[in-house]
Amino acid sequence: MLVEVWSDIVCPWCYIGKRRLERALEAFPARDDVQVRFRSFELDPGKAQLIDESLDRMLAGKYGVSLEQARGMNDRVTRLAADEGIGFRLDIARPGNTFDAHRLSHLAREQGLEAEVMERLQAGYFCEGVAIGDPEALVGLAIDAGLDGEAVRSTLASDAFAQDVREDEALASHLGIRGVPFFVLDRRLGVSGAQEAPVLVGALEQAVSEARRDRLVTG
């Protein structure tokens, strides 16, 4: 079974959703038959590469709420992340454009390190205050995850994998995906949002059941 996960690296719900998917797979008997593929989705493709503004202020501006309300929203998602074993430090997060980070995820897929790179990128941004739009910061995170530094620098200095990112985003649009995280199971079942692990287990079981039924019907 192929599980495709559309997500953005700076989306807190995407990191939470990824962890919940990992927990779901641990509880899924046929987990060894599941391949997870991360697909690119930019929540704000027009964002500047580096942004000197706190997440609280960005959130307040985006949703038209007070700074206090924005802090409350970030506090809530931080508590939910902690329940999944993720130590968010949104107070030191350094937002920016994620296009280059997404390109590195495609490079990582070629090298068989997609899961490792996605985890390192998200942990760096959400937990360590790494500037996600800074090329040198991205190099360091990618090397930490096992990628070759020269390959990473060469990718960032070119337009390599740019088309792959755009194709993922075009496919999301074709499938009607408007928000992330969004999980697509074997192109037969979609799950929207950072659902709890038991919900994702149920979706995995449903996808297996539907695939089995289709095989019986087609003979």
Quick check: 49 and 10 in contact, CB under 8 A? no
| Residue 216 pLDDT > 80 | no
pLDDT tens digits for 52-76? 999 999 999 989 999 999 999 999 9
Strand order of the sheet with strand 189-192?
Answer: 35-40, 2-7, 182-185, 189-192
Residue 215 has pLDDT above 90, yes or no: no
In this predicted structure, the answer to whether residue 99 has a pLDDT above a threshold of 60 is yes
Residue 219 has pLDDT above 90, yes or no: no
Contact 20, 202 (CB under 8 A): no
CA-nearest of 95, 82, 108 to 137 is: 95
Q: Tokens 């501006």 — which residue?
A: 61
Q: How large is the average pLDDT for residues 178-194?
A: 97
Q: How far is CA 189 from CA 35, 158, 171, 182, 201, in A?
A: 15, 36, 15, 11, 13
Identity at 3, one-letter amino acid code:
V
Q: What integer best gives the mean pLDDT of the chain?
A: 96
- Separation of first and last alpha carbons in the chain: 19
Find the DSSP H helices in the chain.
12-27, 55-63, 67-83, 99-110, 114-128, 135-144, 149-156, 162-174, 197-218
What's the farthest any 2 CA atoms get from each other in the chain?
60
Q: Which residue in 48, 34, 37, 47 sits closest to 167, CA to CA? A: 37
pLDDT at 4 over 80: yes
For the residues 3-9, what does the mean pLDDT come to? 98
Which residues are bridge partners to 7 per DSSP? 40
Q: Which residue in 130, 135, 101 sits closest to 118, CA to CA?
A: 101
- Choose the weakest-confidence range: 6-15, 18-27, 93-102, 207-216: 207-216
Classified as helix, coil or strand, 4 is strand
Distance CA 167, CA 163 (A): 6
- Joined tokens for residue 151: 């390959």
Domains of the chain: 2-205 (3.40.30.10)
Task: Report how far residue 156's alpha carbon sits from residue 101's, in angstroms, rounded to the nearest whole number.
Answer: 9
Q: How far apart are CA 140 and CA 147, in angstroms?
A: 10
pLDDT digits (tens, 9 = 90+) for 77-91: 999 999 999 999 999
Residue 218: pLDDT band (50, 70, 90) is low
